[in-house]
Amino acid sequence: MQTSDTLAIANPFALMLNPAEVFQAIGRSDRLERLQRRVCRPLDKPLIAHVPADFSDYDHAIDAEPETDE
């Protein structure tokens, strides 16, 4: 019979749901402990900060048109 720890390690998707289990496994493994780590953070600002007014006006004009069933 497999324990819940064995099932969690065998299933990578289960590990994604329980990150604390991953860190515990890393702490118990010398090979995993030697891996280089880095923290990646999302960008502070979106790449497209503002939509030009021309695009906004065009979108409003299209949205204001009545819908036709052709």
CB 9 within 8 A of CB 15: yes
Q: Is residue 66 a part of any domain in this protein? A: no
Total of domains in the chain: 1
Q: Is residue 67 a part of any domain in this protein? A: no
Query: Rounded distance, CA 68 to CA 65, Å?
Result: 9
Q: Is residue 2 a part of any domain in this protein? A: yes
Query: Rounded distance, CA 60 to CA 65, Å?
Result: 9
Q: What is the pLDDT of residues 3-39, one digit of tens each?
A: 555 555 677 787 778 888 878 887 888 887 788 878 7
Question: Any idea what DSSP says for residue 16?
Answer: H
The structure's pTM equals 0.31
- Mean pLDDT is lowest, of 2-6, 36-40, 51-55, 64-68, for 2-6
Per the rule left: phi > 0, alpha: psi between -120 and 50, beta: everything else, 68 is beta
